[in-house]
Amino acid sequence: MNFLLILTLISIIVRSRQENASMDPCNDFYDYVCTNDTRSITKLNFASLFDDREILKPNISFPNNGTYIALDQILEPDRLMKWYMTVKSLDTATVDLEYFFETHYEYISKKNDSEKFSFAVETLENVNLTLTNIFYNSLYANIKVLNQLNLPAAEENKFLHHISNLLKNNTIEEIWSSSLSNKSKKVLDEELNNSKVFFGLLDYNNVTMLEETKLVYETEYYRLKSLLSSDDLDTEIAEKILRLGAIDTATKYLAKRIPGYEPEFLFSAFASNMENEAFKHNSAIYAGIVTRSDLQQPMLAIADTVSVLAHELMHFVYPSGTELLTPNVTKAAKKCTQDEVKRMGDSDVVKPIDGWFSKKVTHEDLANIMGLRMVMKMVARKSASEEQLKNALETLLSGLCIQGKPKNSILPHHHPFEISINTAVRQYPLFSSLYGCRLGDRMFAEAEQFCKPLGGEVNLEDYKIKNDTEDIGGFFTYIMDTANAFNFSFRN
Ligand SMILES: *[C@@H]1O[C@H](CO)[C@@H](O)[C@H](O)[C@H]1NC(C)=O
Ligand SMILES: *[C@@H]1O[C@H](CO)[C@@H](O)[C@H](O)[C@H]1NC(C)=O
Ligand SMILES: *[C@@H]1O[C@H](CO)[C@@H](O)[C@H](O)[C@H]1NC(C)=O
Ligand SMILES: *[C@@H]1O[C@H](CO)[C@@H](O)[C@H](O)[C@H]1NC(C)=O
Ligand SMILES: *[C@@H]1O[C@H](CO)[C@@H](O)[C@H](O)[C@H]1NC(C)=O
Ligand SMILES: *[C@@H]1O[C@H](CO)[C@@H](O)[C@H](O)[C@H]1NC(C)=O
Ligand SMILES: *[C@@H]1O[C@H](CO)[C@@H](O)[C@H](O)[C@H]1NC(C)=O
Ligand SMILES: *[C@@H]1O[C@H](CO)[C@@H](O)[C@H](O)[C@H]1NC(C)=O
Ligand SMILES: *[C@@H]1O[C@H](CO)[C@@H](O)[C@H](O)[C@H]1NC(C)=O
Ligand SMILES: *[C@@H]1O[C@H](CO)[C@@H](O)[C@H](O)[C@H]1NC(C)=O
Ligand SMILES: *[C@@H]1O[C@H](CO)[C@@H](O)[C@H](O)[C@H]1NC(C)=O
Ligand SMILES: *[C@@H]1O[C@H](CO)[C@@H](O)[C@H](O)[C@H]1NC(C)=O
Ligand SMILES: [Zn+2]
């Protein structure tokens, strides 16, 4: 054998060991499940949200009698500022929460409306014209996409809201069975009970309503335009303010049609309908399904939704409700989670890029740990064998696999997805016993390493199948039976 051949053989052996090691559930559960991902994620066909789309002229015209109003009369400074912030928040890759806090505090320190207006105008430099037109672009895109997809039309999708209520109830139960103070439990219960969920492209997906909203936007834009002098109209700032003014009116119109949600929430929701997104904004949760899933594999699409909702519901605690917990509990939970995430990141065969770790985003990993634990308790109640527990865990993970991106890619304001997910699985208290993982395996956590996000000990019994559970085929069989009972399908 010559030297090169030996080297090649060694490298083949090393590589196959690595590949095989990564398909070991005790080494990398994400890879173990996701190597079998056969989903074909729904591809939407729509014009870019970042096109400088011309605003159509409605049939009404607004003649001007020769008197003009000043630019600062188009929109009150508070609303101008609010819409600046909302529009800017879509630019997630470049800004974080601190930027919004700082800008907000600087704004409220201004003494009078004219100072406030000047400050708002200054901040508007930070967004380009296209971004100020993004609501119009997204209405256009939503109409186009809804006409292409044959989705079931509804105000609220009954089945999906049933699932979100089920998860909400279980989150409330988690809170009540925790060691939080009664006062904190009450506050969280009330907040969760009052929270609302909006499913992108599946709730309020009435095309006519969106066409009407688009016409409201166009009409308001041209009405406001007719009030400005040609000198003002020559400036870029005037164009931005006009568009934000049209957003203000159009989202208010939409909020009347879709009661219970703030206009800013609806703005972000309809803009997010084209993206692979989910978020919590004050007391409302947005969840995209269509753009994240393969609608030909409804069980995996629903599994993804279950994971996403559980994550967003946990954000009521971390970070929104952190002040309701005692500082020693949150401090210990954060430290534990950070250690876990670092351990998983540093030991991955695919190393994330330098500087990937940030303490500031620990609440995202906590939401994953808490969300998965809650769902696995729900799974336990519907499972009659350990095989069914494993099936449910694998189904949950299969719905989450990322496609078309290198593993451990940097995500804005989160740790790399695969690391955070593997951390949550490692922190699922029954994981190692189900898969036979042992001390020293990457996915094996010792009992002392289990994080305690709400204080209180981890109780293994909560996760175990009960001997008297009737065999209904496991958690996702139950979920799909429920879907059938609601006559639910992703096709109209
Ligand atoms: C992995 O292990 C299996 C059997 O355990 C073996 O057949 C295979 O060649 C190994 N390598 C790869 C890359 O699958
Ligand atoms: C992945 O597919 C292989 C081959 O069909 C199968 O042996 C294995 O059990 C699957 N893994 C999981 C986690 O489903
Ligand atoms: C506007 O007018 C054109 C022709 O004048 C007509 O085709 C169109 O339907 C009208 N649009 C609306 C929204 O009324
Ligand atoms: C001109 O139009 C403005 C706005 O519509 C109105 O407030 C104003 O009274 C009008 N002025 C005259 C002279 O008609
Ligand atoms: C607003 O406050 C600034 C600075 O305090 C002052 O110079 C300006 O005259 C005030 N403007 C009005 C309209 O009160
Ligand atoms: C406007 O800003 C957005 C967000 O930063 C960016 O994606 C887009 O390319 C910009 N458009 C232009 C024309 O510069
Ligand atoms: C959630 O809890 C409420 C109040 O206890 C109950 O009325 C509702 O049926 C529950 N929903 C689900 C889906 O479990
Ligand atoms: C908290 O509320 C429960 C009933 O919900 C009650 O049994 C318990 O005594 C209360 N604990 C404290 C410390 O008030
Ligand atoms: C929860 O909210 C519903 C309305 O959505 C209300 O009827 C119910 O009383 C609330 N329950 C609690 C415990 O606050
Ligand atoms: C959709 O909206 C239009 C216009 O507002 C309304 O007339 C129609 O009844 C709505 N359709 C459904 C199914 O709610
Ligand atoms: C946290 O502090 C409280 C008192 O402030 C104490 O009762 C509790 O046991 C502490 N919890 C932990 C996990 O140390
Ligand atoms: C459940 O059944 C298994 C074997 O069938 C038994 O080993 C175990 O003790 C039982 N657990 C409980 C809680 O009854
Ligand atoms: Zn999150």
112 close to ligand 5 (CB < 6 Angstrom): yes
pLDDT band per the 50, 70, 90 thresholds, residue 1: very low
Mean pLDDT across the stretch 112-129?
Answer: 96
Give whole-number Cα distances, 272 to 39, 290, 400, 431, in Å: 22, 11, 18, 34
441 ligand 10 Cβ < 6 A = no
Closest ligand (CA of 469) = 12
Q: 10-19, 277-286, 324-333, 389-398: lowest mean pLDDT where?
A: 10-19
Write down the pLDDT at residue 47.
Answer: 85
Does the C-beta of 193 come closer than 6 Å to ligand 9?
yes
Position 13 confidence tier, pLDDT thresholds 50, 70, 90: very low
Return the pLDDT at 51. Answer: 86
The CA-atom distances, in angstroms, between 404 and each of 28, 82, 89, 345 are: 19, 36, 25, 20
Q: Give 422-458 pLDDT, tens digit per residue.
A: 999 999 999 999 999 999 999 999 999 999 999 999 9
User: What are 333-382's pLDDT values in tens digits?
Assistant: 999 999 999 999 999 999 999 999 999 999 999 999 999 999 999 999 99
Task: Point out which residues pair with 197 in neighbouring strands.
Answer: 285
For atom 7 of ligand 4, the residue with the nearest CA is 67
Give yes or no for residue 12 having a pLDDT over 50: no
Q: Which atom of ligand 9 is nearest to the CA of 190?
A: 14
- Which residue's CA lies nearest to atom 12 of ligand 7? 166
Tell me which of 209, 211, 213, 257 to substitute to probe ligand 10's pocket, judged by most ligand atoms within 8 Å of the beta carbon.
209
For ligand 9, atom 8, which residue shows the shortest CA distance? 193
CB 425 within 8 A of CB 443: yes
Is pLDDT above 50 for 251? yes
How high is the mean pLDDT of the chain? 94
Give CA–CA dist 407/16, Å, rounded.
Answer: 18
- The alpha carbon of 163 and the centre of ligand 7 are apart by a number of angstroms equal to 10
What is the layout of strands, in order, in the sheet containing 284-288?
Answer: 196-200, 284-288, 278-281
Which amino acids bring their CB within 6 angstroms of ligand 6? Answer: 50, 91, 128, 130-131
CA of 401, nearest ligand number: 2
Percent of the chain with pLDDT over 70: 96
Within 6 A (CB) of ligand 7 lie 162, 165-166, 169
Bridging pattern class, strands 196-200 and 284-288: parallel
Residue 65 Cβ inside 6 Å of ligand 4? The answer reads: yes
Whether 158 shows a pLDDT value over 50: the answer reads yes
pLDDT value at 148 more than 90: yes
Closest CA to 199 of 148, 174, 165, 248: 165
Q: Assign 21 a pLDDT band (cuts: 50, 70, 90).
A: low
**Ligand 9 center–CA 193 separation, angstroms:** 6
The protein residue with its alpha carbon nearest to ligand 2, atom 12, reads 33
The candidate with the shortest Cα–Cα distance to 160, out of 260, 281, 287, is 287
User: Taken in order 178, 181, 182, 184, is the CA torsion positive or negative?
Assistant: negative
For the chain, give the percent of residues with pLDDT over 90.
Answer: 89
Average pLDDT score over residue span 20-30: 84
User: Ligand 1: which of 12, 19, 20, 22 to mutate, judged by most atoms within 8 Å of the beta carbon?
Assistant: 20
Confidence class for position 19, pLDDT limits 50, 70, 90: low
CATH numbers and ranges of domains, the chain: 43-151+204-292 (no CATH), 153-200+300-492 (3.40.390)
Residue range 455-479: average pLDDT?
95
Does residue 406 carry a pLDDT above 50?
yes
pLDDT beyond 70 at 22: no
268 close to 261: Cβ distance less than 8 angstroms: no
Mean predicted confidence (pLDDT) in 228-237? 96
Ligand index nearest the alpha carbon of residue 182 = 8
Q: From the CB of 109, is ligand 2 less than 6 Å away?
A: no
What pLDDT is attached to residue 96? 84
Under 8 Å between Cβ of 200 and 291: yes
Mean pLDDT of the region 1-24: 53
Encode 64-97: b = buried (16+ Cβ within 10 Å), e = exposed: eeeebeebbebbebebbbbbbbbbbbbeeeebee
